[in-house]
């Protein structure tokens, strides 16, 4: 797959979003889910010509509109847009170079997953939403100060193997997905899992979901292609809150 368009079943709104609109919505929706570390964080989405739609540098994710999304080439040079590109784009360039399955890549420092990244422990799966990602949650435990340099970014991506989600120790998260809707679900599931597990562990711990149950839930979500109805519902809420997100 080389395009990022969100595929909805017939009758599911919002229909006909452009990739830029869907990506602007993804920024806003993830901000509401805890991906809210000021102007940090970036998302890239591969286009059919190989170029990448990208987060404009200097904006919080809750203010991004479709017309703010920039387009860059595979060396990080700006092709379209009025905002600069982050110097940390190297991580995304490496992801898209090394992972043919990476249509969308998300990096940020969400509050609860970053707590677990600091402990270098994987949060257990305690409920349904936490189980909706099929891949193992990988920990990259060698933080050397950012991801701007190619070899540091490459080490981060290599540590993931074929997984779609990683905790980057003392830093944040990296999520890889085959579509915008799947990226949304993966990010929401990961941050929810981290938050719930922190709460359970603060009471002394609980009983994690049985692994076969978690695996079955994850397979169901995979077969739905990232649960586009969930994306659509949260997108409608965001569009009601601020219709200018689509401008
Ligand atoms: Zn970062």
Domains, the chain: 19-241 (3.40.225.10)
pLDDT of residue 1: 42
DSSP E strands, the chain: 42-46, 52-54, 70-72, 78-80, 104-108, 138-140, 165-168, 172-177
Distance 143 CA to ligand 1 centre (A): 11
Q: How high is the pLDDT of residue 148?
A: 78
Whether 125 and 209 have beta carbons less than 8 Å apart is answered as yes
Q: What is the DSSP string of 33-58?
A: TT--STT--EEEEE-TTS-EEEPPTT
Query: Would you say how long the chain is, in residues?
Result: 247
Structural contact between residues 230 and 184, judged by C-beta atoms closer than 8 angstroms: yes
pLDDT at 117: 96
In order of 64, 93, 118, 132, 144, the CA distances from 126 in angstroms are: 33, 34, 20, 11, 32
Q: What is the pLDDT of residue 5?
A: 65
Q: How far is the CA of 205 from the centre of ligand 1 (A)?
A: 29
Residue 23 CB contacts under 8 Å (≥ 6 apart), including other chains: 4, 43, 45, 53, 66, 69, 180
pTM more than 0.85:
yes
Q: How far is the CA of 106 from the centre of ligand 1 (A)?
A: 10
Q: How far is ligand 1, taken at its centre, from the CA of residue 91, in Å?
A: 9
Nearest alpha-carbon partner for 165 in 100, 88, 113, 232: 113
Q: Report DSSP state, residue 5.
A: P
CA-CA distance, 200 to 25, in Å (whole number)?
31
Q: What's the gap in Å between 235 CA and the centre of ligand 1?
A: 25
As a whole number of angstroms, the longest Cα–Cα distance in the chain is: 52
Bond prior to 72 in cis (omega within 30° of 0): no
Q: Could you tell me the distance, in angstroms and rounded to a whole number, from the CA of residue 242 to the centre of ligand 1?
A: 27
Distance 199 CA to ligand 1 centre (A): 25
Q: Distance, CA 76 to ligand 1 centroid (Å)?
A: 17
CA proximity to 173, closest of 38, 63, 10, 42: 42
Environment of ion ligand 1 (residues, CB < 5 A): 172
Which of 106, 119, 118 is closest to 190 using CA atoms?
106
Q: What is the pLDDT of residue 7?
A: 72
Nearest to 56 by CA among 43, 46, 38, 45: 43
**Planar angle of CA 92, 97, 103, nearest 5 degrees:** 65
> What does each of the 247 residues of the chain score in pLDDT, given as a tens digit?
445 667 777 777 788 899 999 999 999 999 999 999 999 999 999 999 999 999 999 999 999 999 999 999 999 999 999 999 999 999 999 999 999 999 999 999 999 999 999 999 999 999 999 999 988 999 998 777 767 788 888 988 898 999 999 999 999 999 999 999 999 999 999 999 999 999 999 999 999 999 999 999 999 888 877 788 899 999 999 999 999 999 9
């Amino acid at each position: 797959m080389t395009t990022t368009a969100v595929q909805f079943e017939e009758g599911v709104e919002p229909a006909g979003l452009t990739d830029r609109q869907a990506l602007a919505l993804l920024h806003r929706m993830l901000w509401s889910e805890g991906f809210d570390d000021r102007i940090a964080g970036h998302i890239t989405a591969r286009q059919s010509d190989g170029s990448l739609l990208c987060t404009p540098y200097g904006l919080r994710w809750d203010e991004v509109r479709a017309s703010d999304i920039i387009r860059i080439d595979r060396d990080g040079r700006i092709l379209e847009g009025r905002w600069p590109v982050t110097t940390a784009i190297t991580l995304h360039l490496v992801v898209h170079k090394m992972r043919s399955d990476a249509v969308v890549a998300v990096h940020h420092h969400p509050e609860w997953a970053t707590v677990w990244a600091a402990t270098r422990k994987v949060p257990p799966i305690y409920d349904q939403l936490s189980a909706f990602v099929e891949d193992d949650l990988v920990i990259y435990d060698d933080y050397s100060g950012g991801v701007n340099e190619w070899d540091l970014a490459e080490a981060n991506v290599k540590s993931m193997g074929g997984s779609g989600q990683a905790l980057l120790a003392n830093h944040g998260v990296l999520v890889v997905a085959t579509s915008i809707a799947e990226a949304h679900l993966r990010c929401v599931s990961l941050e929810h899992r981290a938050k719930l597990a922190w709460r359970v562990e603060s009471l002394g711990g609980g009983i994690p979901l049985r692994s076969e149950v978690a695996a079955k839930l994850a397979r169901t979500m995979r077969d739905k292609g990232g649960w586009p109805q969930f994306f659509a519902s949260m997108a409608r809420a965001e569009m009601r809150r601020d219709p200018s997100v689509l401008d």
